[in-house]
Amino acid sequence: MARLIVIFGVTGTQGSSVARVFLNDPGWKIRGVTRDPSKPASKALEAKGIEIVKGDLDDPSSLTTAVQGADVIFGNTAFSDAFITMPADVVAQLRPGQTVRQWCYELELRQGKNLADAVAAVDGLDRFIWSSLSDATKWSKGTFKGIYHFDSKAHVVDYIYKTHPRLAEKMSILQMGVFATNWKWDQAAVPWEKVDGTMKLKVPGSGDIPIPLVVPSDCGYFVRALIQAPPETNLLAFGDRMLWADYVALWSKTTGIPATFEKTTVAEHAKLSPNGYGEQVGEMYAYFQDFGYDGSDPSVVHVQHYAPISWMENIGVRSNGLLLPISTTMPLLNQLNPVTGELSLRSKTMPDAKTDVVKIQKLVDFPNAGFLNGMATLNPRLGLVIIADAYLGGIYRPDTRTNTKGLVFTDESMNGTASISIGINGIRVLSGKLWFTNSASAHRQALLRNLVTSLFEHESISTTWHKAKEAQRLAEKLVTLGKKNTEASRRRAHQIFYRPLELVPKLFGPIRERYASRPGGYTRVLRIEPIKEDQAPSAILELVDGPKDMRFAMTARTIARTRTEGKKINDITASNIAKVTRYREEGEGDLERMVSKFEGMLKEGEKGVEEVRQKKVYPKLERSR
């Protein structure tokens, strides 16, 4: 049965784009909400098969019916034009001291809350996509308090988290980048100045930070992607990031009008329009430069963060240098130009299709094969190939003339592991030797990713000594990525964590702050007594200077015990105190608090103190940073 998407602002730029994308999908029914179902734009949408209903975000009672039965709702509000036009009826409504901008903020916030209240009451709703923007006041730490059309939308998100937590669990946030079409607007919005037949774009801010630009009619594609992504994804939607100077150069090239870029100030920009409109937009441009369009909110992801959903491998090289990778998830043969990156589809219906590249013909069936994988040439003159079976851990040598196709040999080193049954993968024959890789190493990667995901979630994990040492390298690398704090490093971290939406913000937020002044050695491996029956050497891998720092706790315990026994702190403990407090903010205070806790426990004979000791850490044997 088709699912129902309800679109607010369906007659507008974002909403109509969402309608367009879902109109082509037979799996969806569309309902569009407008204040005026009789206007031409509404009628045109209705003529395309969209159910058009009346609804006004200022009238909560009209929203209940509009959202009824929805599987997905796209919510969008438009910041009132009153802040530009200053109509007399709005001015008459202002409270003493209230500006029109603040009035518009309250209006949009109220509309968003009305919508959230209605959406929260929809039974069986799968997803609410809220078209939002960043909280400029929050992320600029109060430097920019007047970018009301950003804050109003972000404060709707806060309202949902506070008032409708169950709706928050089904919400995805869409932050559309700067519309690439804005240049058609007025000068205060997009500050072009005509100078002797040429155009000059004057934008407040340094001009050094690229701006995320989006074609607004792409909105629907981002909404569709958000429905496929997990809920609570906070997506910044853009096609490309550009410096204003590059944007102007492209604009000039496209329109044929000579144009240049010049930096300006918020104060200068404010003069372009009275009553705060120029100032609000000017502040917005400066905010993009000083804090980032999304305020550098660590929860924000970009489409580039998502790994490609298709899986290609077994690449063949054509004589003209083009590559023929195979989609393993679909019966597709692709052609890739390794120089331009251009990817084209050569065949959809392997194995019988004829294409302009190759004639595909089925030669041999392998009914007993496990998982046929890599293929290599054994003897080009005789036309002999070999094929790996990753599941059975062996090699086939099919002979198309005799149609023999048995496994010619299997080998233990080609097997998978107990937990991943996929073994031998890519194969090559070189100088009479067979070279192969084994997919079980993918299992190792998965294991390491699992360990570091748990480590960053819980701050400390117990595992075998060897796994701890391997995971430590990856964990150190992750912290380094966090400290780099670039788009590329964020993308990489996203690929490593199994729960990136939860952990990427933690890595680029509190963890990055924790290790800001530490030059390295963010993790520690402490050997402990074997935790498994097989007596394999075990270890704790922990993030140092965190809430579960074992050495910190052990040092506190030693101090507490020494003090309780009326002894003096020895040199080793003194050196440990220096080490565990050196890079910790509030290090000495934190240590003293923990010592007092242990002293209290020791006096009362509580067993918490013993628990720290019971882990039997062997610091002298194997200690590592």
Ligand X SMILES: NC(=O)c1ccc[n+]([C@@H]2O[C@H](COP(=O)([O-])OP(=O)(O)OC[C@H]3O[C@@H](n4cnc5c(N)ncnc54)[C@H](OP(=O)(O)O)[C@@H]3O)[C@@H](O)[C@H]2O)c1
State the residues that interact with ligand X by CB under 6 A: 8-9, 11-15, 34-36, 55-58, 76-79, 111, 133, 149, 176, 178-179, 182
Q: How far is the CB of 259 from ligand X (least distance, A)?
A: 19
- Contact, 235 vs 171, CB < 8 A? no
**Residue number with CB closer to ligand X (178 or 475):** 178
What's the CA gap between 52 and 445, in Å, rounded?
51
Ordered alpha helix ranges (H), 485-520: 487-496, 500-506, 512-514
Q: Which residue is nearest to ligand X (CB)?
A: 12
Q: How far is the CB of 78 from ligand X (least distance, A)?
A: 4
**Residue number with CB closer to ligand X (181 or 624):** 181
Q: How far is the CB of 35 from ligand X (least distance, A)?
A: 3
**Residue number with CB closer to ligand X (63 or 553):** 63
Tell me, what DSSP letter sits at residue 413?
G
**Residue number with CB closer to ligand X (34 or 523):** 34
- Contact, 154 vs 162, CB < 8 A? no
Q: How far is the CB of 212 from ligand X (least distance, A)?
A: 10
Q: How far is the CB of 276 from ligand X (least distance, A)?
A: 16
Edge-to-edge strand list for the sheet holding 384-389: 372-379, 384-389, 394-396, 407-410
Q: How far is the CB of 278 from ligand X (least distance, A)?
A: 16
Cβ-proximal residues to 35 (8 Å cutoff; 6+ apart), any chain: 54, 55, 56
DSSP result, 133-181: ---HHHHTTTS----HHHHHHHHHHHHHHHH-HHHHTTEEEEEE-EETT
Q: How far is the CB of 118 from ligand X (least distance, A)?
A: 12
What's the CA gap between 615 and 617, in Å, rounded?
6
**Which three-class secondary structure state does DSSP give residue 50?**
coil
Please write down the HEC assignment for all residues of 229-249: CCCCCEEEECCEEECHHHHHH
Residue 282: strand pairing partners: none
**Residue number with CB closer to ligand X (291 or 508):** 291
**Residue number with CB closer to ligand X (183 or 618):** 183
Tell me, what DSSP letter sits at residue 582?
T
What's the CA gap between 620 and 440, in Å, rounded?
34
**Residue number with CB closer to ligand X (84 or 386):** 84
**Residue number with CB closer to ligand X (79 or 247):** 79
Q: How far is the CB of 58 from ligand X (least distance, A)?
A: 5
Q: Strands 72-75 and 127-132: what pairing?
A: parallel
